[in-house]
Structure 1
Amino acid sequence: MQHPTLDRRRFLGIAAGAGAVALAAACGTGPEPAAAPRAGGRLRAVFAGGGAREVLDPHRANLFVEAARAKALYDKLADLGSDVAPRPRLAERWEPDPSLTRWRITLRQAVFHDGRPLRAADVLASYARILDPAQALRARSSLAVIDLAASRAVDDRTVEFALRRPFVEFPNVLAAFGAYIVPEGHTDFDRPNGTGPFAFRAFEPGRSTLLARFADHWDGAPHLDELEFLLAGEESARINALLGGQVEYAHDLSATTARSHEAGGRVAVVRSANSLAHGFAMKVDRPPFDRRELREALFLLADRQQLVDSVLSGAGQVGNDLFGRGYQYYDDAIPQRTVDLDRARALVRAAGADGARIDLLTSTASAGMVEAATVLADQARAAGLTLNVVQGNKDTYWADTLNTGALTSFRSGTMPIETHIAQRLLGGASNNVTKWNRPEFDALYDTAVATADPAARTEVYARMQRMLHSDGGYLWWGFGESIVATARSVSGVASAPANTLDWARFDKVWMA
């Protein structure tokens, strides 16, 4: 079966005739909904892709398109609400014992696409695969708290998880990025079999994926008959495909693109505030950023407001080199960093880096990253540093940054601060881009997640954030909107932070 694909050449051909067509902004609300949802139709959604290396394996999902497909095909035990708190999904409820070391999960009545019922054995098998050290899967860092050998299926609809230590944040684990439930014994991820609202039909890596309504989904059948994911690495290609009628949904647009097309009537813009964290990652385990002085110099030369104004068109908040502004446990008491070029120059000299030329790896893999890298390079020159902006392969960028480059562009969707720490900052974290590894920091994390009292737990997280602010490798310069655009015929697209339950949630979308 052949399916249409969206390549840059075709998009740019459309652009010549579509340049005057503009976006109509809906100020975060999207198109006005129809009187009632309608069933039927195929929605075509275009995302930035990962080329021929992209995967359908939900446990290996990393890109936005992979995450969106995974949530269409599979379910997790929990997912994050728009307030970044866990919400039950396949788990109907969860209950800890007084010690916080055993958690009992009651499963919903759900079925896989092949008709098999969801069982406790499927949950245990899914988590065993994620925890397999040979797999090197992203969610492993979050699930590592589980003592799987001591966990058990009480019955087909009840799982009792034994934990290695008291862990008050265990619902975050159930909602962790990539922690999807697959059938016991399932190994063919080229033909997915999940409990999600859409069932698999066809897949061409780097090109398209076709899914169809799953009528027996536990949360109700989708309105759409079919959902097709198409790929285009360039933002201009995605918006031009929408303007040209090749797709009905375009993901990951920059604030500049949205703002420049505010006045038309062809499409609607859906904005989700405080949805994306923008930054740069310095690897603290290798030259030149193994020198704390140079990391601090970068913190002090970065003009965050200029970055927000130029890259996010002013539609965002400045960052303070800490993830999760506005989320639970975020420490607002830490003073906001401001530009101090004199101090930055002195630190550059102290680090022996005066006049140094440092590669800054970036990519078009996410909207605005190249622009942000260019702005930072301009700012660094005033402190005696030359940052050489190098564009990496957009299809492999996120995998490449794990081990390549001392300084890289970085961007993150939404997740709890605890999950950010577990997956990116602990010594054995699976997605530790900065290579931060501090035993005393890991010990504080163990204390935080074992502390039942919320105020005391918040103070431990504050201590950890003070360590990161002083010595860490992330330069979080801003928090901005997640922006998508849709055809006017599309209704039901929610304004929700990236990587939360209602983001890229197509089972509740319909077409006029």
Structure 2
Amino acid sequence: MTQQPNRPHLSRRVVLSAAGLAVAASGAVLAACGSEPAATGPKTGGTLRAAFAGGGADETIDPHRVNLFADAARAKAVYDKLADLGADMAAVPRLAESWTPDADLTVWTVSLREAAFHDGSPVRAADVLYSYRRIANPEETFRAKSDLTPIDLDASRAVDDRTVEFVLKHHLAEFPNCLAAFGAYIVPEGSDTFDAPVGSGPFKFVSFTPGSEFTVERFDEYWDGAPKLDRLQIVVADEESARINALLGGQVEYAHDLSATTARANEANDAVALVASPGSNMLGFAMKTDRAPFDDPRVRQAMFLLCDRDELVESVLSGRGQTGNDLYGLGFEHYAAHIPQRERDLATATALLAEAGVETITLDTADVGSGFTEAAQIFAEQVREAGVDVEINERNADTYWSEVLTEGQIASYRSGAMPIASHISQRLLTESPTNVTQWHHADFDELYLQLQSTADEAARDQLYQEIQQRLHDEGGYLVWGFADWIIGTLPGVHGVEQAPANTLDWARFDKVWMD
């Protein structure tokens, strides 16, 4: 990995001197539908510096290992997938020009568009199959592996350089979602090291220092049109205050993942433009269902009943969000909206915890997302009302996500957008790579397989409802709210669209330009 010591990690100390600008500036812009285009039209040139929360040594530019939002933004700059997700979670063609199923939905033929890697070689069917087989490697823990499980990659084949025939293990009407899976990027055949990665995305790699910076430059031959920017630099600023202060201080032009509190504080600030995507960020707590005390369903039920969701939405999100009901994907296709909203019931929760003999719990959190620490503190007070002592464990932000995946009892959690099916396959099956709740149930795995294999749309939706009802009753995710996804830019930055995180138009730097 290329070292760039002259490009420092934007810690809170580095940008603290800019803090006063947030108070001093005045006059507001809150963009509801993306940054406004300049009257003179798009311009070419310039370097955009974008601040993201990082993950220290856990950061990666191996596109199949992406986990953090910063990882995903870097991968998106350099690579392409066969498809990506629109705002409605439907698959949108990218490197795949089209996909066509056979009569029983077990063989899908994907036609590739004409596209080239950064070294000039064409994107071929062989590259697609190599990439998917690398992701499906049973000895690895790639996140997209679960989404690709329905594909029989031994039977699948390259019909020709621009045609892939995917043979499936069972009927699958939602196969295009597999192509859009988080991390399912296409790399050149034979790629196994990523010190100087080659992709087919809008930008070519220049340098990367984990926990500090990532720099790429425009790829003029990009199939979807060359970016307007000369260069893109993603820099790390773990704390949200560091990102907004770096933006206001002119150290960056784009600040990812700002809090509702920051948005409200800057509504009268013409030094920053804000782009808000309503309800696209799930917020909650993940309980480990395989260990005490949360292996007891009574304890999980008590946590559900102790949570005052309205207080969290009002306090943490400044009222800029929607109340959660312990289920992922509010507003997405197949969401179980018929399940009644769970209300707070202190008396019942207190009785359940007394029956279970719970006296104390440890709640993990870290400053890795907007409002994380504040939400943990508020929820801890809500739990203490039931006579249970709550110890808040502040973990290292750089290692938080890797640690809470397997360690601890209950942890602050959030998620960007993805289809509900991907949420289940990546997080809730016995072999799911990011199963933070340690939800391991063979009958649940079988029910999801049945869902995937059901061609009839109404019958499949019924299985979605059944799965979500079970998760609502006894699962490990306490989902208290859905926040607006807020991004800040300097006023001279254009083309930043309103889009849920992890969808096609999120972090779409190839469409951004500057005055």
Q: Place the TM-score, normalised by the shorter chain, in its bin.
A: over 0.9
Identity across matched positions, percent: 57
Q: From 317, 329, 335, give the equivalent of 1:330.
A: 335
Query: For this pair of structures, how many residues does the alignment match?
Result: 510
Residue deviations 1:352-400, cap 9 Å, x none?
Answer: 11xx121100111111111110010010011122221111111111111
Single out whichever of 410-419 and 47-56 deviates more from structure 2.
Answer: 47-56
Amino acid at match of 1:67: A
2:73 matched residue in structure 1? 68
Distance 2:353 2:251 in 1: 50
CA distance in 1, matches of 2:6, 2:74: 17
**Which residue of the other structure, out of 38, 50, 55, is the alignment partner of 1:50?**
55
Structure 1 residue 27: Cα displacement: 4.1
- The residue correspondences of 1:147-186 to structure 2 (distance < 5 A) are 147-186=152-191
1:7 correspondence with 2:3: no
The one of 86, 93, 111 aligned to 2:91: 86
2:401 is the counterpart of 1:398 = yes
What's the secondary structure of 1:401's corresponding residue? helix
Residue of structure 2 equivalent to 1:464:
467
**Does residue 422 of structure 2 align to residue 419 of structure 1?**
yes
C-alpha contact (below 8 Å) 1:361/1:409 kept by paired residues: yes
Equivalent of 2:30 in 26, 29, 49: 26
Q: Which digits, 9 at most, give the CA deviation of each residue in 1:236-269, with x for residues without a partner?
A: 1111111011100000110011101110111100
Indicate the RMSD between aligned Cα atoms, in angstroms.
1.2
Q: CA deviation at 1:31?
A: 3.2
Give distance in 1, aligned partners of 2:373 and 2:436: 18
8 Å CA contact 1:303–1:379 kept in 2: the answer is yes
Whole-angstrom CA distance in 1 between matches of 2:326 and 2:26: 36
For residues 38-93 of structure 1, what are the alpha-carbon distances to aligned partners after superposition, in whole Å with 9 as ceiling and x for unaligned?
11111000001111331111111111111011011000000000111110000001
Instruction: Please name the residue that 1:388 is paired with.
Output: 391
Tell me what 2:507 maps to: 504
CA contact (8 A) 2:31 2:273 kept: no
1:25 is displaced (CA, Å) by: 3.3
Measure the CA separation in 2 of the matches of 1:410 and 1:323: 12
1:435 aligns with 2:442: no
> What is the alpha-carbon distance in structure 1 between the residues aligned to residue 484 and residue 253 of structure 2?
20
Q: CA offsets, 1:121-169, max 9 Å, x none?
A: 0000001110112221111111111111111000000011111111111
Write out per-residue CA displacement over residues 257-303 of structure 1, whole angstroms, 9 at most, x where no aligned residue: 11011101111000001110001000111100000000000000100
Report the counterpart of residue 271 of structure 2 in structure 1. 266
> Which runs of structure 2 are paired with 1:93-104 in the superposition (5 Å)?
93-104=98-109
Distance 1:32 1:92 in 2: 30
After superposition, give the CA deviation of every residue in 1:105-128 in whole Å (9 maximum; x if it has no partner): 100110000111000000000011
1:29 positional shift: 2.9
Q: State the partner residue of 1:341.
A: 346
User: Kindly tell me: are residues 23 and 502 of structure 1, through their superposed partners in 2, closer, same or farther at Cα, counting changes over 3 Å?
Assistant: farther
Q: Which amino acid aligns with 1:491?
A: H
Task: Please name the residue that 1:482 is paired with.
Answer: 485
Q: What CA distance in whole angstroms lies between the structure 2 residues aligned with 1:480 and 1:98?
A: 41
Distance in 1 separating the partners of 2:463 and 2:21: 57
Is 1:106 the counterpart of 2:111? The answer is yes
Task: Give runs of aligned pairs for residues 111-150 of structure 1, distance below 5 A.
Answer: 111-150=116-155
More displaced stretch, 384-393 vs 71-80:
384-393
Contact 1:23 1:258 in 2 (8 A): no
CA contact (8 A) 2:35 2:497 kept: no
Tell whether 2:193 aligns with 1:194: no
Structure 1 residues 22 and 178: alpha-carbon distance in aligned structure 2, compared to 1, 3 A threshold: farther
Deviations 1:217-254 (CA, angstroms, capped at 9, x unpaired): 11000010100011111111111111011100000110
Cα distance in 1, alignment partners of residues 268 and 188 from structure 2: 48
* 1:203 pairs with 2:204: no
| Paired residues of 1:361 and 1:407 also in contact (CA < 8 A) | yes
Deviations 1:192-227 (A, max 9, x none): 100000000111221111110000011000010100
CA distance in 2, matches of 1:247, 1:155: 45
Alignment of 1:217 with 2:211, yes or no, is no
SS in 2 for 1:218: coil
In the alignment, what sits opposite 2:495? 492
1:219-368 correspondence to structure 2 within 5 Å: 219-353=224-358, 356-368=359-371
The 1-side partners of 2:155 and 2:458 are apart by: 31
Task: Check the 8 A contact 1:3/1:208 in 2, yes or no.
Answer: no
Letter in 2 for 1:361: D
Q: 2:18 touches 2:246 (CA, 8 Å); kept in 1?
A: yes
SS for the counterpart of 1:24 is coil
Q: Quick check: 2:266–2:272 contact (8 Å CA) kept in 1?
A: no
| Residue aligning to 1:448 | 451
SS at match of 1:252: strand
Structure 1 residue 96, shift from structure 2 partner: 1.1
The question of whether the paired residues in 1 share the 8 Å contact of 2:306 and 2:349 is answered with yes
**Deviation of 1:312 (Å):** 0.7
Indicate if the aligned counterparts of 1:273 and 1:482 stay in contact, CA closer than 8 A: yes
Cα distance in 1 for partners of 2:27, 2:388 equals: 40
CA distance in 2: counterparts of 1:25 and 1:303, whole angstroms:
32
- Cα distance change of structure 1 residues 478 and 126 upon mapping to structure 2, 3 Å threshold: same
Deviations 1:319-365 (A, max 9, x none): 11010010000011111100011110111011111xx1211001111
Looking at structure 1, the residues matched to 282 and 433 of structure 2 have their Cα atoms a distance apart, in angstroms, of: 19
Deviates more, 1:380-389 or 1:152-161: 380-389
Q: Is the 8 A contact 2:281 2:500 kept in 1?
A: yes
Shift of 1:190: 1.5
| 1:165-196 superposed Cα distances (whole Å, 9 cap, x missing partner) | 11111111100100000000112211110000
Secondary structure of the equivalent of 1:45?
A: strand
**What TM-score results when the alignment is normalised by the length of structure 1?**
0.98
Deviations 1:14-51 (A, max 9, x none): 32565423583324234321131111111000001111
Whether the 8 Å CA contact 1:23–1:268 is kept in 2: the answer is: no
Matches of 2:265 and 2:209 in 1, distance apart? 33
Contact 2:82 2:95 (C-alpha < 8 Å) held by counterparts: yes
Partner Cα distance (1:441, 1:129) in 2: 27
> Is the partner of 1:251 in helix, strand or coil?
strand
C-alpha contact 2:21 2:248 (8 A) present in aligned 1: no
- For residue 70 of structure 2, give the secondary structure of its aligned residue in structure 1: helix
